[in-house]
Amino acid sequence: MKKAEVMALLKENRNERGVANWKKKPCSLKSFGIGLTQLRKLAKQVGRDHKLALQLWESDIYDAQVMGLLIDDPKQVSREQAEEQVEELNAGMLSHVFASCDATLAKAPFAFELACDWMDSKDPVRRRCAYGLVYELCKKNIIAMDDVWFLNCIDHIRQTIHGEQMWVRESMNGALMGIGKRNRKLNKAAIVAVKAIGPVDVDYGDDNNCEPVDVLKHLTSDYLKKKFSA
């Protein structure tokens, strides 16, 4: 598909309620108000296309930029591209989709190295993205990401989370949840950390439908108890 065709597809799926909610946000980007679940479905229709992804990223439409992140080819994404795009996340608004939400970056061959580097960055947007990547990479079996690495990550989050910028705290919470779902040992360590950390404050502003994820509830679910009892 070409950019014009994708833009037409997005326009066809315009969500007026989403547009109304978007207009309340202090953002320079425009939007068709399409939810992420629907954008994922549309991305599958479009398919992987690196060139098209870069074209969509240059749009001033939020939905188009998200589509660009979803359809990019992980084999063609470069570290240089990632560093350029992280600077253009509109004050972090696109960070969650950029690093998580099954988007392309976490599938790139350098994703683990990038996450490690960005966790130590002075830039809070990069740190937020780093923990988003950790959450996604928890679903994979990367040799360097062994239990020792994850235990160190849990300890680092436990020690630093309350001193972090708000959106980094949210992302750290997600990383703890992802780590704690890997195996029994990490589950127990993550639960201990979550209890020690206590409530993590995240202010979602006017979006009353959003609440900080209850990590402890997820890590002590009946599903995980059964999974790790075997």
To the nearest whole percent, how much of the chain has pLDDT over 70?
97
Residue 203: the pLDDT is 79
Residue 119 lies in a domain: yes
Question: Residue 96: which of 189, 208, 204 has the closest Cα?
Answer: 204
Residue 147 lies in a domain: yes
Residue 65 lies in a domain: no
Residue 206: the pLDDT is 59
Residue 85 lies in a domain: no
Residue 228 lies in a domain: yes
Q: Please state, in angstroms and rounded to a whole number, the distance separating the CA atoms of residues 121 and 95.
A: 15
> Binning pLDDT at 50, 70 and 90, where does residue 119 land?
very high
Domains contained in the chain, number: 1
State pLDDT tens for residues 179-202.
Answer: 999 999 999 999 999 999 999 888
- For the chain, what is the largest distance between any 2 Cα atoms, rounded to a whole number of angstroms? 52
Residue 74 lies in a domain: no
Mean pLDDT of the chain: 93
Q: Please state, in angstroms and rounded to a whole number, the distance separating the CA atoms of residues 179 and 215.
A: 11
Q: Please state, in angstroms and rounded to a whole number, the distance separating the CA atoms of residues 225 and 40.
A: 31
